[in-house]
Amino acid sequence: MTVESSTVKTDIDLAVSAHKRSEPLRECVRDAIDHYLDRLNGEPPSGLYQLLLSQVEQPLLESVMQHCGGNQCRAAEVLGMSRATLRKKLRQWNLI
């Protein structure tokens, strides 16, 4: 994990923990991104889109799988993807 990616993960963790659970996830993510960009002190971010996706996808899959008790069919339904796509992503992140 690079310093840049660990900073994004930390910023997202901080923003999520700072918000009440009743606030929309969208606001938590927006606050984390804003905080991350502020910490760059004017330096242009590089590959932010891909960096953010890579930092969000693994914990999303982990959380949904835990929520679904490891049931891949149910997790795929919750995520709105096919079971085959879910399995591919789980393998990609070494979660199976």
Q: Could you write out the DSSP letters of every residue in 4-37?
A: HHHHHHHHHHHHHHHS-TTS-HHHHHHHHHHHHH
Residue 14's pLDDT is: 53
Global confidence as pTM: 0.65
Instruction: Check pLDDT > 90 for residue 78.
Output: yes
In the chain, how many domains are there? 2
CATH of the domain at 75: 1.10.10.60
What distance in Å separates the CA atoms of residue 9 and residue 56, rounded to the nearest whole number? Answer: 8
The reply to whether 39 and 61 lie within a common domain is no
Question: Residues 25-50: pLDDT tens digits?
Answer: 889 889 988 998 999 888 888 888 99
Residue whose entry in the numeric block shows the structure tokens 């969000």: 56
Q: How many residues does the chain have?
A: 96
Residue 51 lies in a domain: no
The reply to whether 35 and 63 lie within a common domain is no
Supply the range of the domain harboring residue 41.
1-46
What distance in Å separates the CA atoms of residue 51 and residue 62, rounded to the nearest whole number? Answer: 18
Label residue 90 exposed, middle or buried (CB < 10 Å: 0-12, 13-18, 19+). middle
The two three-digit tokens of residue 21, written as one number: 């659970």
